[in-house]
Structure 1
Amino acid sequence: MTIIQVADDTFVAADPGSASGVVGDRSRWRRWWPDLRLEVVEDRGDAGIRWQVSGPISGTMEIWCEPALDGFVLHYFLHAEPVERTSGAEAMRPDRIAELNRRRRAAGKVMAFECKDFLEGGRGVGEPAVSVTGRTGA
């Protein structure tokens, strides 16, 4: 099992077909994960993307967009190990592990909410989902 384990879900009330335009936009990746180098392992279009991750951590990361109700669930997964290991007991201190996970969870939530805000395009609570063309309605 890897030290950094992040799994998160965010519902997006927008057409699942709109996800690839945001999730697949490489210019956003640097903003979301500025310290990571991402190598695409599998680009699944509207269904999401998988990466090999390197930099201060090494592992895999994935965004999976699962159609649900009148939108989709954006699933975010990260499984990684710190590259620079501290020796001995310091490496596995629970507070250090918790902080590594908290930082990566927070970065994932920033990404998910940016996608949600962009794709829902100002949609009010309870209003219909936003379609690919930007008009409301399913």
Structure 2
Amino acid sequence: MQPPVHLIDETWIDALPATVSAVVADPANWQRWWPYLTLTVTRDRGVKGMQFAAAPAPGSGWPALTGTVEIWLEPFKTGVILHHFLRLEPAGGQPLTARAARRWTREAGWHAKQVFWRLKDELEAGR
């Protein structure tokens, strides 16, 4: 069974994998990218990305969700495909309705697009 909030997304960025990897590895970005989660690194894959354990961020306006977040960086042509995986379920066993799960998956997807398109714009500036 798939977690209630399950997101798979990708964005192509015309920048070197090492450049994108350095931004992904910077903890200062995580709170901005996932303000509704508190992240703990579970696996630093270097230039290939990172994996995180996710816990709810207090006061975010989101339901208390827990699970995993992953960024996988795949070199492609002159840049990298940033794959973003989000697998979250309610903390403490409180179930989400199907409607709420769809809503929060849409919210997370829209937020991720804004975050990673902004990153794309920043890293591709002047190219």
Both proteins in one fold, TM over 0.5? yes
Q: Could you state the TM-score of these two structures normalised by the residue count of structure 1?
A: 0.79
Aligned partner of 1:109 in structure 2 is 113
Aligned partner of 2:73 in structure 1 is 65
Offset at 1:111? Answer: 2.4
- CA root-mean-square deviation: 1.5
User: Matches of 2:99 and 2:126 in 1, distance apart?
Assistant: 39
User: Matches of 2:86 and 2:100 in 1, distance apart?
Assistant: 17
Aligned partner of 2:84 in structure 1 is 76
Bigger strand share: 2
Count of paired positions:
118
1:36 matched to 2:27? The reply is no
Q: Is the CA contact 1:23–1:115 (under 8 Å) kept in the aligned structure 2?
A: no
Which residue type is aligned with residue 120 of structure 1? Answer: E
1:11-58 superposed Cα distances (whole Å, 9 cap, x missing partner): 111111211221111111111111211000011111111000001211
Q: Is the CA contact 1:14–1:120 (under 8 Å) kept in the aligned structure 2?
A: yes
Aligned partner of 2:124 in structure 1 is 120
Which residue type is aligned with residue 11 of structure 1? Answer: W
User: Matches of 2:123 and 2:38 in 1, distance apart?
Assistant: 25
Q: 4+ runs of 1 displaced by more than 6 Å?
A: none
- Structure 1: give runs of 5+ residues left out of the alignment: 124-138
1:70-125 superposed Cα distances (whole Å, 9 cap, x missing partner): 11100000011022625xxxx32x321210101111222122112211211243xx
Bigger-Rg structure (1/2): 1
User: Matches of 2:21 and 2:14 in 1, distance apart?
Assistant: 15
Q: Percent identity?
A: 36
